[in-house]
């Protein structure tokens, strides 16, 4: 079963102006940075500033750092009403740029909307830590939550961008190892195709306002390096009959990774799973993180939380 819920037919004026401004300012810089020769360090500063400026932390948020049993991250809690359930959050930005700190605003607002504490994994970044370090860090964090007493059904895996690839890798690894699956997976603008073939095709129809597919591919290669893109943990395939959690996906209509979101939906549904996909018109990549320039951001998080509430427990 799959469904796409009705959404506004057009993005807000502020969102569309923000996309235009981003295309004229940020994209030329992001598409020309020398990734692999220090460009990623510049990108970390620029994206960090933008995330803090456009996606502030929710009022009353509590943050607690964790460095335990090889698991590094932070608990982010805002208006928590259910402490026996948890969100495991996997941040994005091509495995090389962002962190738990950069995503504190998004995690805090997701915590507020769901009423759940969020554990944001501070996985190791490329190029210092190439594939499969980040994926291994995520798997370790999931098993750590299980060891803390959380039932699999009470864990929601959420993430954005490269966090989408990490989330699907985790789910497939769980299936291979017969580890119980999380109750649900909630993804914002997931990256699935690390060759950016899908994104490049989409880009020809509508250029992404944030970054070009060529530049994004170069950034991601800091993580994959010389690995073949066809190895199983990079080109993720979902076999028919694989036991899957419920998937909830949101993507922006203005971004090239909407093609990846549609591809992931098809992978899940073709394997017999359940997926809801929402494509928000005129929105940029991970617009949910940018409420100051995208008025739809908090509404999207609220809708994701409402869909999550409808997921039946197994």
- Domain membership of residue 3 (yes or no) is no
Q: Taking every pair of C-alpha atoms in the chain, what is the biggest distance, in angstroms?
A: 48
pLDDT tier, 182 (very low <50, low <70, confident <90, very high otherwise): very high
- Domain membership of residue 176 (yes or no) is yes
- Domain membership of residue 48 (yes or no) is yes
Stated pTM of the model? 0.96
Mean pLDDT of the chain, nearest integer: 95
pLDDT tier, 69 (very low <50, low <70, confident <90, very high otherwise): very high
- Domain membership of residue 181 (yes or no) is yes
The domain in which residue 164 lies consists of 13-309
The catalytic site residues sit at 161
Q: Residue 20 has what pLDDT?
A: 98
Query: Is there a contact between 91 and 99 (Cβ–Cβ < 8 Å)?
Result: yes
Express each pLDDT in 265-285 by its tens digit.
Answer: 999 999 999 999 999 999 999
Domain holding 115: CATH number? Answer: 3.40.50.1820
- Domain membership of residue 5 (yes or no) is no
Pairing relation of β-strands 275-280 and 246-252? parallel
Per-residue pLDDT for 78 more than 90? yes
* Number of domains observed in the structure of the chain: 1
Chain CA centroid to CA 287, Å: 11
- Domain membership of residue 136 (yes or no) is yes
Long-range Cβ contact pairs of 3-8 (< 8 A, separation 24 or more): 3/276, 4/276, 4/277, 4/278, 4/279, 5/276, 5/278, 5/303, 7/278, 7/279, 7/280, 7/281, 8/280, 8/281, 8/296
């Amino acid at each position: 079963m799959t469904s796409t819920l009705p959404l506004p037919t057009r993005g807000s004026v502020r969102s569309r102006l923000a996309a235009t401004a981003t295309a004229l300012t940020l994209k030329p810089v992001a598409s020309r940075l020398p990734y692999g020769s220090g460009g990623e360090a510049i990108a970390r500063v620029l994206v960090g500033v933008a995330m803090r400026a456009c996606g502030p932390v929710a009022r009353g948020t509590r943050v607690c750092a964790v460095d335990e049993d090889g698991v590094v991250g932070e608990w982010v809690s805002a208006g928590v009403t259910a402490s026996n359930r948890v969100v495991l959050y996997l941040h994005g930005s091509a495995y090389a740029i962002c962190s738990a700190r950069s995503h504190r605003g998004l995690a805090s607002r997701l915590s507020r909307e769901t009423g759940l504490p969020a554990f944001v994994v501070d996985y190791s970044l490329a190029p210092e830590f190439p594939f499969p370090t980040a994926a291994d860090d995520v798997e370790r964090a999931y098993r750590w939550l299980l060891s803390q007493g959380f039932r699999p059904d009470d864990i929601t895996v959420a993430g954005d961008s490269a966090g989408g690839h990490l989330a699907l890798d985790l789910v497939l690894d769980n299936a291979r190892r017969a580890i119980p699956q999380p109750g649900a997976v909630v993804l914002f603008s997931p990256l699935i195709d690390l060759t950016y073939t899908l994104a490049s095709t989409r880009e020809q129809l509508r250029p992404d306002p944030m970054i070009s597919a060529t530049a994004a591919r170069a950034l991601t290669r800091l993580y994959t390096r010389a690995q073949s893109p066809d190895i199983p943990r990079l080109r993720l395939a979902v076999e028919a009959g694989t036991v899957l959690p419920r998937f909830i996906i949101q993507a922006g209509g203005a971004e090239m990774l909407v093609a990846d979101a549609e591809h992931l939906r098809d992978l899940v549904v073709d394997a017999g799973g359940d997926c809801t996909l929402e494509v928000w018109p005129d929105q940029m990549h991970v617009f949910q993180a940018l409420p100051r320039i995208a008025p739809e951001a908090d509404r999207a998080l609220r809708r994701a939380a409402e869909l999550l509430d409808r997921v039946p427990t197994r």
